[in-house]
Structure 1
Amino acid sequence: MKTTLSYITFACLLSFSTLAQMQPFALQEVRLTSGPFKNAQDVDLKYILALDPDRLLAPYLIDAGLPLKAQRYGNWESSGLDGHIGGHYLSALAMMYASTGEAELKKRLDYMVAELARCQAKNGNGYVGGIPQGKVFWERILKGDIDGSSFGLNNTWVPLYNIHKLFAGLRDAYEYAGNKQAKTVFVGLGDWFIDLIKPLSDDQIQQVLRTEHGGINETFADLYILTKNKKYLETAQKLSHRSLLYPLLEQQDKLTGLHANTQIPKVIGYEKIAMLTDKADWSDAAQYFWQNVSQTRSVAFGGNSVREHFNPTTDFHQVIQSNQGPETCNSFNMLRLSKALFLDKNEVSYLDFYERTLYNHILSSQHPEKGGFVYFTPIRPNHYRVYSQPETSMWCCVGSGLENHTKYGEVIYSHSVNDLFVNLFIPSTVNWQEKGIKLIQNTAFPYKNESELALQLAKPQVFSVNIRYPKWAENLEILINGKAQKIDAKPAQYVAINRKWQKGDKVTVRFKTSTRLEYLPDGSNWAAFVHGPIVLAAKTSADDLVGLFADDSRMGHETKGKLYPLTNAYALVGDPATYLSQLKPVDKLRFSLDSLTLQPFYEVHDARYQMYFQTFTKAAFTEQQARLKQQEAETLALEAMTVDKVNCGEQQPEVDHAYKGEKSDSGYDDERFWRRTRSFVSYQLQNKNRAGKHIQIRALDAITADNVHVLLNEQPAEIVSIEDNIVVLKGDASEVITLKLMAKDGKPTPRFHQIRLLKN
């Protein structure tokens, strides 16, 4: 839906000019003043300052052969993804400095950039990076020696994704904090990368791009914007992954089963390249992707995916059942895409999604008191989330989490050449110095449905203040200096007030909100209560919150507490017309539902919770509950017997189990992931307390002694049974078991689907 300007008719000058190109305000021009977003910014600032720059720089010094000033961090920063948090940290420092003016942030940023420049100078060819054995790795790529899986490249954990974080961090250090040395390092790194891929054919480059690589195409588009050198724009196009782009150009949905956060940054790059070239169809592709993901693949709070992958649009049962719900990184990047499309297309629908995701996923993904970032947000009833800690947790969602809460001011306001736009109701100020306009927004939204906008002007002047009329708002009222105005506007539009504004003018915006049930996109009977843009949830218990604050284990970002049966969850039973009437207002954004109290999901922490509720007619309740109870009993019994498991072909489960392989590929068939090989694949299973006695391997094809050879800790495995596509092995008494699956005579193995280490 295209943005429509609606006008208030009263004794002031009206302007009917078409909407000019939307522009963002710089973060330096916007300041948060109070409320939950200001609190989240403050908490994030403490987390940022708790991190040690020298420890984050250690991987770069190691690679450059320079003496360390401190030991590198553990967790993902010393197990293959070394250096990626350092790139995110640059971005977080730059944006938080721009948003707050805190001097210590600029001091740290300048120090880190200077150290990276020192590493780059020592390397001597423009390269700087923290990837383990980086020089050896990149030399193989230069020679065209490429063995890529769906995420790894030459048995190295997402190296292009890793270095992309540095590219982005250097860009942000220059763009947001004005560090000119960062631009020099950024350009040098870009030139090195161009030289690296110069010997590769287009097909080889596309093979490299099969692996997760962040928004590497976007960063080269950024280099073009900074330098106007066309070689960077050409490289950006060369680094755009065709296997995703081509179906999007044809508006074909080929997303199911793909690793979600691998795809979203690519699309951000397509959109930026489209803005710099005549490739309007690339922008159309980005719009199609956004529409598909935001409207058919996202849950109520704006997140998407299960176990990091796009699930079928017609079946969300895995999302409901899994303890690995939508990943925060996905929403981080969907907001970046939404912002880019909003500024390009001037469509309010992008803001509706942006606002929903900002309040309900991003704001909820940080602990509001203790700090710490969430990786997975399950929608499974009666489950919970895990929070990171500065000394133990170096996950991808920590990196994006550091950034998430630094830039809340990025789209609260925007402007065209002459006019001001108010997009979100968040207490803040915007100082448009170029025009001599300052606007102060005082609001307690979402707890109070009102916002007051006060104008401070250097001199009286004529311009439009455009106020977003949200899709969810009802009975919008606008008062100017206390006088009510007639509004001829609809939701999902802007109300444009054009007049000669005076210093001290005040605009009051009032509206009503209501609660509605929002069902999952697959049309199933699971629904969430949404009040205005706010998703409601209920705390259900504080029991068995194992690993609530993460340790330093490889899989510390996952919950370890037991799964409670779905049949134990509260359900809405009866006439559908009565579901909403069962909800009783208690206080501001507090509602009772029998013994439950629903409140904004972003307030729910340190507890198990329920966000989604099954809805039943009375006739259907007994039958469906009995069927679900049997299914749940079988699932939970298997989980109770499981000591460790690997979902083959899924990125993070394979990474968490130290995947290695050669001549291997992976895929997604019949709603199941798989991996096969013509050489070998191996995983490490964690045998906690040596409780595992057997290993079960499931495949999508028949397993026989003739088509796969299995080693446990480099010794031939003892087969207990083989039946169709399941083989059971006698386990190993070690605490860590290395399972190696080998092809015979170079022929493809079966498509392995899942490996479980079982107690019985």
Structure 2
Amino acid sequence: MTRRTLFAGASIVALAGPALVALPPVKGRRVEPVPSRFVRLTPSPFADAMAANRRYLLSLDPERLLHNFYLFAGLPAPKPIYGGWEAQGVAGHSLGHWLSACALVIANTGDPALSAKLDHALAEMARIQAAHGDGYCGGTTVERDGKTVDGKIVFEEVRRGDIRSQGFDLNGGWVPLYTWHKVHAGLLDAHTLAGNARAMPIALGVAGYLAGVLEPLTDAQMQQVLRAEHGGLNESYAETYALTGDTRWLRMAEKIRHKAVLDPLTARQDKLAGLHANTQIPKLIGLARLHEVTGDPRHAVAPRFFHERVTGHHSYVIGGNSEREHFGPPDMLSTRLTDATCEACNSYNMLKLTRHLYSWQPHARWFDFYERVQLNHILAHQRPDTGRFVYFMPLSAGARRTYSEGEDSFWCCVGSGMESHAKHADSIYWNDGATLFVNLYIPSELDWTPGGLALTLDTALPMRGTATLTVRKAPRRSQAIALRLPGWAQAPRLTLNGAPLTPMMRDGYAVVERNWRAGDRIELTLPMALTTEPTPDDPSVVAFTHGPLVLAADLGAASDSFDGLGPALVTSGAASTALRAGTGPHSFHARGALDEDLVLKPFFAQYDRRTAVYFPTFTPSGWQARRADYVRAQEEASTLARRTTDIVHLGEMQPERDHGFVAARSEVVNWNGRSARRIRPGDSMRLTLARRPGPATLRLTVWGNDVNRQMAITVDGTPLKTDRAPREREDRFVTIDYPIPSTGAQGKPLAEVVFTPVKEEAVLYEVRMLTAESGNPVTAV
């Protein structure tokens, strides 16, 4: 550490507040995870995932992640910036996740190589922060007068009370508070998990700078700021308060309360339909942490209610939630099975929230959900050979996974993926001072020095339902060990040193208390059964599970195109009778309704295959009556996919950014369970869509009651003919088609489309560019 850096760090601490004073644990937390430094993973898919993730973390260069940070501090950038999102306005979010992921690995293994990289990154961040001199340390950018400039200007505008947002941006900046949270959280993790002394002074400077921006704002101004996605800023400030005892940070955590979302949830109202899912989950994690550091029971209501609603009414069979990043109406899933289901960030955050709720109420059911997500979504979301990640986990028939590039993606789900696969050791074992809870059956060794207990967990799960717990060292006192009996297990059995055991049952656990001796063995048998999970809105659409694993039909290599129909099943009894056991664990066969051979196996491991997770089912008579309609619907869906050259889901951040969205005064709304853009008469909205040569069709999705509203539309400056005969209004979504000629400039690969409502406002949900084919100009969706 140079003399200059040392003095700069001291000045940041002086800016930020008092010395660190850790607060005592809150009484509401009844159990705590055994720190991962006492846990070592042994060979398994989880260990493979962590090893692949470590290799990826080591491959990343913190100086490249800090590229913009250097430039905006007036320092030379030693390395070029990465591509993908890091080369866009959200630059810096990956750095925060990388800091947290490195800290998680270091906390588990003490990894010297990652420790050195993390320390170097923190030393550079201290140097950058010192150059600013006010605690600022950021790399976001924003457009001003056609130029890309330092995103710090957004924070300074907000400080002055100049606040503008269309829902996803803050003063034109791409979610700068979201990125700020990632950096703040990463610094706290580097302090608490990795024990790096450089981290906390930087974190306090970061906390102090943003607090200086937000503290003067009125509540109305603050609510305007919070319209933009801001991650878990309330959690980071609550954690900073827990580490320092400085009530300034507690006041900030409580000020960052987005009332439009959190007040209805506190009133136990599910108004999630149409909301961007991952924008909301961190807000609830922050409330949960506030409950823990203050003991205020009011902060606990919304997190509990939200978790119950999302897991019970908004989640798919793999435990993930959302379609195109948004919640739909509760219990409406069968019509939302697409190639854009289950954003990985959502599951990452739902698991964080689950850990909080479990710590308040240590019941096994919380980890039934945790296990479902960890096995079927998180393991599926990373390729174990390359360590690359998936953004959406597609559940439509024939869909394949799309993986990130090592240096040119850096989506949000790459960042959360770095953390997800650094923490497979952090939730296996929990304790309350008297009992050791075994919550996840992940092969591992526990050497819990404070508890005087060492044991080995050998298990073939999730592939086979057996686990053996062998005591290697025990304290000289009675010790309770509680083993989670999963909800999927059919009549589990236990033996102790080979003899049948009838344990005490408590809250979903088999509890064995005794004076343990080295060599004691508990053997647990967890029989697995084939079960079905229907969609709540259409029980004839089902998914299959076997034990803890979701099954999926293998529909061919991901590299091959999929032009077939999604498989359906015909059975005269329960849907599970359509499957017969194959060879090998979790292997089943079925005969599809269209006479195709289907092989079902664990979904998570089908990394390079096209799959089907949900299956429409029919009785023999029902299939005979509906076969033609089913085939026709499948063919129409296939034709629509073939004709589509581009599509924009309006009111959603990434699709709008990808299509050059411009609108001076439009508004994001969430109506009829979907996000949309509302445009006033005389105002315009501009998009850029890809198209193929030749005549094309522009298709708009609107609500049926709005189908007769007039709109002027131009494509590359050429007006389209939009006069239509009045249509009968309908209480559902409909599509409207406008033909586009191929003359003049219309044959370009990209088309600029401008929409201007004439007399009444327009609410547009979706814009699609199609190749031209004959068809009904107005059809119901």
Is TM > 0.5 for Structure 1 vs Structure 2? Answer: yes
Instruction: Tell me the CA shift for residue 164 of structure 1.
Output: 1.2
- Does the 8 A contact of 1:295 with 1:521 survive in 2? no
2:574 is the counterpart of 1:577: yes
CA RMSD in angstroms comes to 2.5
Partner of 1:669: 671
Change (3 A) 1:217 1:691: farther
Deviation string 1:720-748 (CA, Å, 9 cap, x unpaired) is 3343676556674444444444578xx98
Counterpart Cα distance in 1 of 2:64 and 2:625: 57
Counterpart check, 1:685 vs 2:711: no
Separation of aligned partners in 1, 2:693 and 2:256 = 46
Q: In structure 2, what is the equivalent of residue 588 of structure 1?
A: 585
Structure 1 partner of 2:427? 411
Aligned counterpart for 1:129 among listed residues 138, 158, 162: 138
Alignment counterpart, residue 374 of structure 2, candidates 358, 369, 378: 358
In the alignment, structure 1 residue 400 sits paired with structure 2 residue 397: no
Q: 2:95 aligns with which of 78, 86, 93?
A: 86
1:367 and 1:628 map into 2 onto residues whose CA distance is: 35
Match of 2:14 in 1: none
Which one has more relative contact order, counting CA pairs under 8 Å at least 6 apart? Answer: 1
Deviations 1:105-134, CA, capped at 9 Å, x for gaps: 111111111111111111111111111121
Q: Distance in 2 between the 1:164 and 1:223 partners?
A: 12
What stretches of structure 1 of length at least 5 have no aligned partner?
1-17, 546-560
| Matched pairs, number | 718
Are the aligned partners of 2:691 and 2:748 in contact in 1 as well (CA < 8 Å)?
no
Alignment match of 2:632 (pick from 621, 630, 633): 630
Residue 335 of structure 2 aligns to a residue in which SS? helix
Corresponding residue for residue 729 of structure 2: none
Q: Which whole-Å CA distance do the structure 2 matches of 1:243 and 1:708 have between them?
A: 32
Q: Give the whole-Å Cα distance in 2 for the aligned partners of 1:680 and 1:128.
A: 38
Instruction: Find the counterpart in structure 2 of residue 483 from structure 1.
Output: 499
Alignment match, 2:775: none
Superposed displacement of residue 669, structure 1:
2.1
Q: In the alignment, is residue 326 of structure 1 matched against residue 329 of structure 2?
A: no
Q: What residue is the counterpart of 1:653 in the other structure? A: 655
Letter of the aligned partner of 2:306 in structure 1?
A: F
- Indicate the SS of the match to 2:208: helix
Task: Identify if the C-alpha distance between structure 1 residues 64 and 711 changes in structure 2 by more than 3 Å, giving closer, same or farther.
Answer: farther
Pair 1:437 & 2:440 matched: no
Distance of 2:659 and 2:401 partners within structure 1: 21
- Give the % identical residues: 35
Task: Give the aligned partner of residue 550 of structure 1.
Answer: none
TM-superposed CA distance for 1:95, in Å, is 0.8
SS state at 1:177 partner: coil
Letter in 2 for 1:70: K
Q: In structure 2, what is the equivalent of residue 720 of structure 1?
A: 721
State the TM-score, normalized to the length of structure 1: 0.89
**TM-score, normalization by structure 2:** 0.87
**Do the aligned partners of residues 623 and 612 (structure 1) sit closer, same or farther apart at CA in structure 2, a change above 3 Å counting?**
same
Which letter does structure 2 place at the counterpart of 1:354? Y
Distance of 1:617 and 1:391 partners within structure 2: 50
Equivalence for 1:528: 543
- The SS at the match of 1:426 is coil
* Distance 1:254-1:459 versus aligned 2 partners, 3 A rule: closer
8 Å contact kept, 1:297–1:521: no
Q: How does 1:213-292 map onto structure 2 within 5 Å?
A: 213-292=230-309
How far has the Cα of 1:267 moved from its partner?
A: 0.8
**Counterpart Cα distance in 2 of 1:198 and 1:297:** 36
In structure 2, stretches of 5+ residues that fail to align are 1-26, 142-149, 592-596, 727-735, 773-781
Aligned-partner Cα distance in 1 for 2:684–2:429: 51
SS in 2 for 1:408: coil
Q: What residue in structure 1 maps to residue 23 of structure 2?
A: none
Tell which deviates more after alignment, 716-725 or 208-217.
716-725
User: What is the aligned counterpart of 2:224 among 184, 207, 225?
Assistant: 207
CA distance 1:502–1:272, shift in 2 (3 Å): same
Contact 2:38 2:446 in 1 (8 A): yes
Instruction: Return the match for 1:105 from 114, 129, 133.
Output: 114
CA distance in 2, matches of 1:759, 1:726: 11
Deviation at 1:270, TM superposition (A): 1.2
Could you tell me how far 1:459 is from its partner in structure 2? 4.9
How many Å apart are 1:203 and its aligned residue? 1.0
Residue matched to 2:512: 497
The alpha-carbon distance between structure 1 residues 627 and 357, as it changes in their structure 2 partners (threshold 3 A), is same
Alpha-carbon distance in structure 2 between the residues aligned to 1:394 and 1:659: 22
Specify which of 555, 559, 573 is matched with residue 540 of structure 1. 555
The residue type paired with residue 546 of structure 2 is H
Structure 1 letter corresponding to 2:311: S
Shift of 1:59: 2.0
Name the aligned partner's letter for residue 274 of structure 1: H
Label 1:578 to 1:670 Cα distance change in 2 as closer, same or farther (>3 A). closer
- Residue among 492, 509, 513 paired with 2:528: 513
1:316-344: CA deviation from partner (whole Å, max 9, x where unpaired): 23322x21111111111110111110012
Q: Given that residues 315 and 322 in structure 2 are in contact (C-alpha distance below 8 angstroms), is that contact kept between their aligned partners in structure 1?
A: yes
Query: SS where residue 346 of structure 1 aligns?
Result: coil
Report the equivalent of 1:194. 211
Counterpart CA distance in 1 for 2:387 and 2:714 is 43
Q: Distance in 1 between matches of 2:385 and 2:686?
A: 38
Deviation for aligned residue 1:752: 2.1
Q: CA deviation at 1:704?
A: 9.2
> Structure 2 counterpart of 1:685, which letter?
T
Q: Distance in 2 between matches of 1:119 and 1:602?
A: 42
What is the CA deviation profile of residues 75-113 of structure 1, one whole-angstrom value per residue up to 9, with x for unaligned ones? 111122111111111111111222233211111111111
User: How far did 1:370 drift?
Assistant: 3.0
1: distance between equivalents of 2:339 and 2:740? 27
Distance in 1, Cα, partners of 2:269 & 2:503? 41
Relative to structure 1, the CA distance from residue 370 to residue 622 in structure 2 (aligned partners, 3 Å threshold; closer, same or farther) is: farther
- Checking the alignment, whether the CA contact within 8 Å between 1:359 and 1:534 is kept in structure 2 is yes
What is the alpha-carbon distance in structure 2 between the residues aligned to residue 455 and residue 138 of structure 1?
Answer: 55
- The structure 2 residue matched to 1:160, chosen from 170, 177, 180, is 177
Larger mean CA deviation between 168-177 and 588-597 belongs to: 588-597
Structure 1 420/622 Cα, relative in aligned 2: closer, same or farther at 3 Å? same
1:537-580 CA-partner distances (Å, limit 9, x unpaired): 121111655xxxxxxxxxxxxxxx66x46xx2332212123633
Q: 2: CA distance between counterparts of 1:231 and 1:405?
A: 34
Say whether the 8 Å CA contact 1:194–1:235 is kept in structure 2. Answer: yes
Partner of 1:435: helix, strand, or coil?
coil
SS in 2 for 1:149: coil
Cα separation, 2, equivalents of 1:299 and 1:126: 43
Q: 1:324 to 1:453 in 2, by over 3 A?
A: same
Q: Which residue of 1 aligns with 2:356?
A: 340
Asked whether the 8 Å contact 2:266–2:302 carries over to 1, the reply is yes
Other structure's SS at 1:627 match: helix
| Letter matched to residue 620 of structure 1 | G
Mapped partners of 2:460, 2:226: distance in 1: 46
**C-alpha distance in structure 2 between counterparts of 1:582 and 1:696, whole Å:** 40
Match of residue 446, structure 1, among 434, 445, 462: 462
Give yes or no for the alignment of 1:43 onto 2:40. Answer: no
1:204/1:712 CA distance change after superposition, 3 Å:
farther
**SS at structure 1 position matched to 2:478:** strand
The aligned residue for residue 191 of structure 2 is 174
**Structure 1 pair 182–740 and aligned structure 2 pair: CA distance change class (3 A):** farther
Cα pair 1:90 1:173 within 8 Å, conserved: yes
d(CA) in 2 for partners of 1:641, 1:40:
39
Q: 1:406 to 1:748 in 2, by over 3 A?
A: farther
8 Å Cα contact 1:708-1:749 kept in structure 2? no
- SS at 1:73 equivalent: coil
Relative to structure 1, is the Cα distance of residues 310 and 395 closer, same or farther in structure 2, using a 3 angstrom cutoff? Answer: same
Tell me which of 59, 64, 71 is aligned to 2:80. Answer: 71
Letter aligned with residue 210 of structure 2 = F
1:381 corresponds to which of 384, 388, 397: 397
Distance 1:739 1:584, change over 3 A: same
Counterpart amino acid of residue 554 in structure 2: K
Q: Does the aligned pair in 2 maintain the 1:308–1:652 contact within 8 Å?
A: no
